[in-house]
Structure 1
Amino acid sequence: MTGIVDYNAGNIRSVELALLSLGVEYRISKNPKDLEGSDRLIFPGVGEAKFAMQELRKTGFDAFLKDWAAADKPLLGVCLGSQIIFDHSEEGDTACLGLIPGRIRRFPENFRGIGLKVPHMGWNDIAYANGGSPLFDGVPEGRDFYFVHSYYIDPADPKAISATADYGFPVPCAIKRGNLEAVQFHPEKSSLAGLRLLSNFCGKTWGGPAC
């Protein structure tokens, strides 16, 4: 069973539709107790870091996610959920969950001077780092994924980076530490490559075409 964390800051419906298309059994809840028996968790998110952390504390998901990660249970952060697993975000000067050491930084303003817009929005191909991750099994390097973000992941340990996207510099876009993985892009909006990634995470045999 795959649990989906609903803390009023997630792109829940698009994740749900992706799992439905894959035939994955899942449960969505705003109550951590409902997800305790899950085999794995998807932690999606869109929006602002400070609001998201307020909602996590209000619902008790902050402590739940810390305990889940400490037990090394499978967890996949998506977009904002890939950011607030770190120690601190420059967005609203926000203390985050601290599941992985590192900070979330805003793209530099001078990007506009070299023709790069903020937010980084749209399709971008990825390159694997540090051997990649089984999360990407069946997804050839260079495949495009869909991004929407103004802040980027800056882990304390660069060995935690499993993939990058080129946006003025190699932007970390996938992280792996034990059974904790996170992706800055939206797999649920990234066509076959994204569905393949979700299928891999959920332990579902891929029945679709080659990516």
Structure 2
Amino acid sequence: MKIVIIDYGAGNIQSIKFAIQRLGYQAVLSKDPEKIKAADKVIFPGVGEAGSAMRKLKESGLDKIIPQLKQPVLGICLGMQLMCAHTEEGDTTGLGVFDINIVKFTTPVKVPQIGWNQITDLKSSLFSSVAENEHVYLVHSYYAPVTSQTISKTNYGGEYSTAVQKDNFYGVQFHPEKSSVLGEQILRNFLSL
């Protein structure tokens, strides 16, 4: 299986690569559109600020490639947010895969949310063998509201989407590569889609 982790200068890609290796697979880091299009599975990571990350995607032409991919694609954290229509962070227009606008936490909660929280209302094969109320690791100040594309929720000053899906595109707000055995199960599920 060809697994490509999109390397556009905005992600903790090594920890994702190591998590894939622990599952017995090899992943390639690439920003080459042809390698990305030829992959069986694509992982779109992201850590950092949305505006600068989107600029890097545009500079490499990946902003045009990613929304057209036909194989399973997993956006992680900022990668998920960049696949949405818009984010308040830097007033940034996203890739428009998900018809969702990312907003900043405004309720009286500590921002960013850092640490473990529960996922509920699981609605996808991405969560096969994952129980309701399991804990995942999150680090973020912006979130996706609950929509018809929501496949898991978390409560932090109110409910929001911790995972979304549309066709072959999946996005998770949490870091599966930092979410212990549960995160490995979610990555395994993604690789078996």
Q: Which residue of 2 aligns with 1:9?
A: 10
Provide the C-alpha distance between the structure 2 equivalents of 1:151 and 1:169, rounded to a whole number of angstroms.
13
Provide the identity percentage.
42
Post-superposition offset of 1:36: 2.0
CA distance in 2, matches of 1:20, 1:40: 14
Would you say 1:99 and 2:97 are equivalent positions? yes
Aligned to 2:187: 198
Amino acid at match of 2:51: K
- Per-residue deviation, 1:34: 2.1
Unpaired runs of at least 5, structure 1:
205-211
* Displacement of 1:38: 0.4
1:188 lines up with 2:177 in the alignment: yes
**Alignment partner, residue 165 of structure 1:** 154
Out of 97, 108, 128, which is 1:137 matched to? 128
CA distance, structure 2, for counterparts of residue 10 and residue 32 of structure 1: 18
Within the candidate set 161, 166, 169, 1:177 is matched to 166
Aligned residues: 192
1-structure distance, mates of 2:111, 2:89: 14
Aligned-partner residue type, residue 84 of structure 1? L
The unaligned stretches of length 5 or more in structure 2 are: none
Determine the C-alpha separation between the residues in 2 that align with 1:170 and 1:94. Answer: 23
3-state SS of the aligned residue for 2:38?
coil
Partner letter of residue 123 of structure 1? W
1:21-100 to structure 2, matched below 5 A, reads 21-68=22-69, 71=70, 73-100=71-98
Q: Is the 8 A contact 2:17 2:26 kept in 1?
A: no
Counterparts of 2:91 and 2:180, CA distance in 1: 34
What is the CA–CA distance in structure 1 between the aligned matches of 2:3 and 2:131, rounded to whole Å? 25
Residue of structure 2 aligned with 1:121, choices 96, 114, 117: 114
In 2: Cα distance, 1:119 partner to 1:77 partner: 19
**TM-score, normalised by the number of residues in structure 1:** 0.88
TM-score, length-normalised on structure 2?
0.95
1:125-155 Cα distance to aligned partner (Å, 9 max, x none): 11025xx110010111111000000000136
Aligned to 1:208: none
Check conservation: 1:24, 1:202, Cα contact below 8 A. no
User: CA separation in 2, counterparts of 1:67 and 1:125?
Assistant: 32
CA distance in 2, matches of 1:126, 1:67: 29
Greater Cα radius of gyration, structure 1 or 2: 1
Give the superposed CA RMSD.
1.3
Per the alignment, residue 138 of structure 2 pairs with: 147
